[in-house]
Amino acid sequence: MAKPGLYYLWGEEAYRIDQEIEDIVRRWQSEWGQEPELVFIDSSDLNPQQLIESLEFSPLFALQRIVVIKRPEFLTKGSRQTSRLRDFQTILENYIQQMPIGQILILTSDERNATNPLVKLLEKHGQVVPCPRLSEKELTVWVEKQFADLGRKAHARLINRLVRSGQDMYYLKNLIDKLCLMYPDRTIPESCWEGQMETREEIKIFGMIDGITARNPQKALHAYHQLRSQGDENIPMLAMINRQFQTLATVKYYQEKGLSRAEIVQTTGQKDYPVRKMMEITRNFSWQALEDIFALLLETDVGLKSTSQDSDLLMEMLLVSCCESK
Condensed to tens digits (0 to 9), the pLDDT of residues 168-224 reads: 888 888 888 888 887 877 888 877 776 565 544 555 667 788 788 878 888 888 888
Whether the model pTM is above 0.95: no
Contact 115, 82 (CB under 8 A): no
What class has domain 6-130?
alpha beta
- Alpha-carbon torsion angle 127, 213, 247, 249, nearest 10: 110
In this prediction, residue 52 has a pLDDT band, given cuts at 50, 70 and 90, of: very high
What is the 3-class SS of 190-241, one letter each residue?
HHHHCCCCCCHHHHHHHHHHHHHHCCCHHHHHHHHHHHHHCCCCHHHHHHHH
Condensed to tens digits (0 to 9), the pLDDT of residues 273-282 reads: 778 878 888 8
Contact 300, 315 (CB under 8 A): yes
Average pLDDT over residues 81-95: 88
Contact 193, 160 (CB under 8 A): no
From-to residues of CATH 1.20.272.10 in the chain: 200-324
What's the CATH architecture for 200-324? Answer: Up-down Bundle (1.20)
Task: List C-alpha distances in Å: 10 to 79, 153, 169, 171, 324.
Answer: 16, 32, 16, 19, 24
Contact 308, 282 (CB under 8 A): no
pLDDT at 61: 60
From-to residues of CATH 1.10.8 in the chain: 136-193
Half-sphere exposure for 191 (CA within 13 Å, toward CB):
4
Residue 159 has pLDDT above 90, yes or no: yes
* Domain covering 136-193, topology: Helicase, Ruva Protein; domain 3 (1.10.8)
From-to residues of CATH 3.40.50.300 in the chain: 6-130
Q: How many residues does the chain have?
A: 326
